[in-house]
Each structure stands twice: as structure tokens, then as C-alpha cells.
Structure 1
Amino acid sequence: MSSSWSFPRLIAHRGGGRLAPENTLAGMRCAVEHGYRAVEFDVKLSADDHPYLLHDDDLDRTTDGHGPARPKTWAELARLDAGSWLSARFAGELLPDLATIAAYCREQGLWANVEIKPCPGREEETGALVSAAVATLWAGGEEKVLLSSFSETALAAAQQAAPQLARGMLFEVLPPDWAAIAARLGCASVHVDGERLNAEQATAIRSSGYRLLVYTVNNTTAAERLFEWGVDGVFTDALPELAALG
């Protein structure tokens, strides 16, 4: 899969980075307005198994809802304001489902990194159902979508449910057995925290045949150094600052 890699090297983190509410349609539009051709976002399952966008396990930080997201149905989640927390400008921006964002990405020709973000205890089913939904929503456009997760269980379930989709394993700190994990999960890419990656690790990952993506890089100097190391792409919240590196 890595030989056919075509992802742009700049990826807008959670859609709009700092400029728009994360994991919303407004965020994806913001990425497009700043010239980005790739976006990253987080997907969970509602209590009734509907895939939707949210990073946290709780609703409080980025919506006007409260408490854990896990017990909420999609009908309950779909009513939440996911924009007011950032500014009044985004008041009324709704929590979106995966289908809405997929339609926008395909309409705009955006590459998409779909991070599978299970609620606690739902790793396997989230990996399976989100990847199956992605396979349907991006049918015929698989080269423009990448599944990733910090959860090996979720990514293994995705591998079983939609083996044709490219996968990336996320690490905070690169473990000694990273290559065995990536091989077992049939990964195309390895994703690492940019502040915890060194040049030797970057070389090892790339020389092993994996694409290397780094998060979350908000400094032009840091991004330039990473590209010198052979990094294939960076996730950023600093959309205007890094745009020229695309």
C-alpha cells in the first residue's frame, strides 16, 4: 500500500486546527479555505452504533452536552452545539456524523485521515463498524482515505472489516516492537509525536517501507527539520503558518 501513497504532506489537524471548532464541518471548510488538501478527524460510535466526529470521551469540552459520550444515541448527539465553545461566530455548529464529513471530503477532493477513537470498552466494535462505514462512504475513492488509531484492537478489527483500506498505527512514543505491530496490522504508515521522534527513528521507519506521519507540528522550523528527515507528512493546528510548506 505504501508504494501508491499520494497523501499531501500537510494535514489539517481535526479539520480547522486553531481556527475553527475541531471535528466539525466548519473545520473542514476552514482547511479548504487555507489551501489544505488533507484533513484529519476523530470518529466514535454513538450508543446506537452511528459513526460521528468527536475527540474526547466526554462531551463537555467541545459541545454544550455534558458527561460521557458513550451512552448517548445519535439522535441526542445530533442536537449538540459543537461550535460555541470556541467563539460566538460558530454558535449553532452541529456535531457532525461521518457521512456528512465524507460527503464534503469527496465533494472537495480532500484526502482524509480517519482516526478511529473508541469510547472506553468499545475498541473492537468501533474499529469494525467505522472502517466498514468508511469503505462504503469512500467506495471508489479509497486512495484518498487512511484509517488510523492508537488502539491496536480497533485497528485489527478495521483490518478484518475493510482490508482494502490503508491503515496507520499511532504511537505517542515509538516502542521497541513498533515494526512488529505495524507488520501484524498490515499498516501503510506509522504516526508519531513530533516532539518524541528523532532522526534515527525516522530513518528506520522509512527504510522499513512505511510512510511516516508526525503530529502535531505547529512550528515552521520544526516542520522543515522533519521533512529533512524524510517525514512524509505532518498534522498541524497552525494552518496559515505552515501553508507555504505544502
Structure 2
Amino acid sequence: MSEPRYPFFEPLDPPRRCQVIAHRGAGLLAPPNSPPAIEQAIGDLCEWIEIDVRLTRDGQHVLCHAETVDACSDGHGRVADLTWDEIKRLDTGAWFAKRYSGTRMLGLSDCLSLTKGRANLWLDCKQIDPARLLEEIHSADMERQVLIAAPPDVLRKLRELSGGRMAVSLAWSANAEFEKQVDELRPAAVEIAASELSRERVAQLHARGVRVIANCLGAANDCRANWLLALANEADLVQTDLPEEFLATDIFHRERAWPVQFSLHRGALRYAPENTLPAYDKGVRLGAHYQEFDVRSTLDQHCYLLHDATLNRTTSGEGPISQARADAIERLDAGGWFAPQFRGTGVPSLDDFLAHIQERSLLYFDAKAISPEHLARALERHKLTERAVVFQGPQYLARLRRLAPTIRVMPPLYRADALDALVERLHPYALDVSWEALSAELIRQCHDRGVRVFADAMGETDRAESHLQAIEWGIDLIQTDRPTQLYRAVELYCAKHPQPAAAAH
């Protein structure tokens, strides 16, 4: 590619060849254009966030896609007919899910502050004041972090007012008028539907210093086939509602031999309600080698997937699951608290989950409150004994081993000096080593004894830098809530070790 016309800020160092634009932030997982949606996208290492900008009656720029606030708040009316004071009192989160109650509409200046030095913004300008927009961007010192999409007449005004220094984008069209607009407006980027990409078309734009954005929006278009098409045709950016799945497609396409395996904690709980079938389906699409699930028993000894001892946090029920009967559990909603598209999702029984997942993922079985007898029978019934690793305390696992000698067991290891006693007693398949105890030496000692090392990267340790350190030490599996951080660690490791990485242990 010729030198790009505009040197944008790079959130990642080194930058990825093809970058991702999160549509309205994580607009499927939090109220679109909201602070939670933007934070989710930044946490997923999206370099770009697309947002919609409109003008209030009193001339303030706010983030809102629709012309009215009716569908995205507890208010009514056109954005253009409401003042900023009226708009900022609206609840723009409760309609989406109860956990977002109290979310407020974001003003553009606040959005610029939120993303400065963290992610670039692609502004879809629905209705703006060009002079005020440029003033806000300049005041925030964000010229290198903003790309503007708007009708050609608005872009002309923006370029005139900025002296041609503001980066703008055009939508591709196969006609002479588009070529004139490229010559006149000198865009930093051109947006092309993924289905209309070709190497020749992309090369022509690259020769003019123009980046290419592959638009993959829409249920029929936001898919692996189009993401691979964008990558194959050397698009510079991909706009998607599923950035986590695009990033999974990209890294698995580039790095066929991984240096580590990973497990998703309670399924893909960042993208779907934890311990539900949609969370495990998402985990399959994200390429998880293992998926962790928690099992608890009801009063009448039926087994369901649930992390907490009570139903309150993740279902429409209340009270301890141990005091509820199966028929009551079957009526609960385990998805509505998370996002609208998951309303009506049930609490899966252990049998339903095992029948559903089958051989699509290896199983990381957290035996929260299930008898060893029930556990062994369930795995045997579904012929999944050899695909599961069972996590529990040593006493429980010893009992389980007596019932089913071939089951793979994994006790926790909190201190290196407890290693030999655990290995001698249980002959474990793996040890769940606390992150604080991890070291290259401890991993070597485990491997010398024929034992794999798994570890949970949670909270502050669930980031690419920590993952990369553990991979360098030789860890076998990282359990994560944030797979895109793990993808980045693998990307950095493979760049540092360009020879084909050995298959994961």
C-alpha cells in the first residue's frame, strides 16, 4: 500500500494488519452507542468504534442512531426536538437489560474523552453542525483518532473548514461520480460491502493511499465467509457486530499450530449468559478447546448448570437451587438479564448440555454440587468420559476415581510444595494452578511428572501480557473470560517465535 493519507493513532503495538471496527461499540451486548458498549469494545481490543452522531435542539452533539429516542430510552420525541438537559435525564439502558438501568445517553465530547488514547472513532454523522464538530474534535486533541462519514456535501464543508486536515470516508460506488468524489474529497478510507471486494479494487485504492473498510453488517453478511473474503482481499478494516468472532476467525486462519490451549469460563460469558447453551455455542465459534461449566443439584436430585448456590443473579428465580425442584427450574429465564436476544433462554440440565455440546468442545467440569456417582454416570451415558476433565478438591476426586478409574481429574494446586503429595495420591491428568503460584519452574516440575498445567486468568491477570508470560513459561491451558486478549497473546507469541509452534500439549 502507498503511504496512507492519514496516520491514525495505533491502539495496539505492533498494529494488526487488518483492524476491526465495532459497530456502535459492542452494540449487541450493551445499549448501542453507550459507555458500556464502548468499554466492551475497547476491552476486546477493537482498534475502532463506529458511533452515530446527532444534534440536539440546543446544538449539542449526542450519540444516537435513530431519529427519535423512543426505542432506546424511556423518553419520546426526535433528538432534534429535545434539549441536551432533557436527553441526559433519560434512562437509555433499562430497555436493553435490567443490569444497564441508569445508563445515560453519551454526549460526543464525553465520548471523545472516554476513547482518547484507547480507540479510534468512526463517526456516522446523521445530523451535525460541522463547525462545532471540528471544534470538539480539536479541543479533545483527537484529530488522529477520528474518521468522519457523512453525505458528500457535509464532507465538503468539513474539509473546507478544516483546511483538508480532517480525515473523511466515502462509500464505494461503481460510477464516475464516485471517482470525482475521491479526487475532490481525498478520503482517508472507502467503505465497500464485503461481497463487492476484489484484490484489484482494493489495490487501486491502496495505490491512492486510501484505506479500505469491508462492511460486513447484517445477519446474512456478518459471517466467517465474508470475514475471510475481507482478509483474502487485503481490506484494512472490517466493520462488524461480532468483533470477537472476526478476531477468532483471523487468528485461527493465520496461526494453525497454537502454543497453548484455552478454556472459556462458564462458556463465552462475556458474550452470552453464563452456563447457558448460547454461551457454549458462542464458545465453539470462538474456537475454545475446552469450555468450563458448573453443575449443581436440585432438591429432587436433578442436575443443572449454575455457578452460584442461589438462582438470584443469573435467572428469574430466587433462593438456593438446592431447595428448588426441577419443574420450577425448567420455567426460569436465564438470559433476559444479559441482553434482549437471550430472553427466554432456559437453565440447561446437565443431560441437555452434554447432549447439545457432544464433541464440539472438550469439557472442563466444575463439580460444584453433584455427587461423584451422578457425575460418572452422566459422562458415561453420553460417552464423554474421555473428553472431560473434572475439577474439585482432592477428597472428592479420590472418591470419583474409585468409581471411574479412567476419568481425568484435576485438583487445585495453590503451593508448589503440595505438588508431590497431590500427584502421588491422585495421579491427576492436570493441576489447576493458582495464577499467583505459576512459574516456569513449577510448570517444568509438573511436566516432569507427566501432569499438565491449567490456570485461571481472572480479573487483572486476564489480559494479553499475563497470558503471554504464561505461554512463554510453557503452560498447557489458560482459562479466560476474555478470549480476544488470549488471541492477542498468541499473535504476539507467534510473531516472536516465527517457526511453526509445537501443537498444544
Question: What TM-score range do you get, normalising by the shorter chain?
Answer: 0.7 to 0.9
**Aligned 8 A contact 1:42 1:117 in 2:** yes
**Aligned 8 A contact 1:51 1:130 in 2:** no
**Aligned 8 A contact 1:131 1:147 in 2:** no
Q: Deviations over 1:139-159 (max 9, x none)?
A: 2x433211111x333222321
Q: Which residue is 2:450 aligned to?
A: 209
Q: Which residue is 1:198 aligned to?
A: 439
**Aligned 8 A contact 1:42 1:54 in 2:** yes
3-state DSSP class of the match of 1:156? helix
Deviation at residue 175 of structure 1 after TM alignment: 6.2
Q: Deviations over 1:167-221 (max 9, x none)?
A: 11124x2363243134322311100232442333222222222110010352122
Structure 2: how far apart are the matches of 1:58 and 1:215?
Answer: 23
Q: Deviations over 1:1-40 (max 9, x none)?
A: xxxxxxx711111111311111110100111122223211
**Aligned 8 A contact 2:329 2:347 in 1:** yes
3-state DSSP class of the match of 2:296? strand
3-state DSSP class of the match of 1:32? helix
Which of 405, 418, 434 aligns to 1:163? It is: 405
The one-letter code sitting in structure 2 at the alignment partner of 1:202 is I
3-state DSSP class of the match of 1:177? helix
Aligned residues: 228
**Aligned 8 A contact 1:206 1:230 in 2:** no
**Does residue 134 of structure 1 match 2:386?**
no
Structure 1: how far apart are the matches of 2:388 and 2:404?
Answer: 12
Q: Give the TM-score normalised by the residue count of structure 2.
A: 0.43
The one-letter code sitting in structure 1 at the alignment partner of 2:441 is E
Residues 70, 91 of structure 1: CA spacing in aligned structure 2 closer, same or farther, 3 A cutoff?
A: same
**Aligned 8 A contact 1:132 1:161 in 2:** no
Q: Which residue is 1:92 aligned to?
A: 344
**Aligned 8 A contact 1:11 1:235 in 2:** yes
3-state DSSP class of the match of 1:67? coil
Q: Give the TM-score normalised by the residue count of structure 1.
A: 0.84
Deviation at residue 70 of structure 1 after TM alignment: 1.0
Residues 64, 225 of structure 1: CA spacing in aligned structure 2 closer, same or farther, 3 A cutoff?
A: same
**Aligned 8 A contact 1:62 1:82 in 2:** yes
**Aligned 8 A contact 1:83 1:93 in 2:** yes
**Does residue 184 of structure 1 match 2:425?**
yes
**Aligned 8 A contact 2:269 2:275 in 1:** no
Which of 153, 165, 168 aligns to 2:395? It is: 153
Q: Which residue is 1:79 aligned to?
A: 331
Q: Which residue is 2:499 aligned to?
A: none
The percent identity for this pair of structures is 29
Q: Which has the higher contact order (CA 8 A, sep 6+)?
A: 1
Q: Which residue is 1:226 aligned to?
A: 470
The one-letter code sitting in structure 1 at the alignment partner of 2:363 is A
3-state DSSP class of the match of 1:19? coil
**Does residue 68 of structure 1 match 2:320?**
yes
Unaligned runs of at least 5 residues, structure 1: 1-7, 119-124
Q: Which residue is 1:28 aligned to?
A: 280
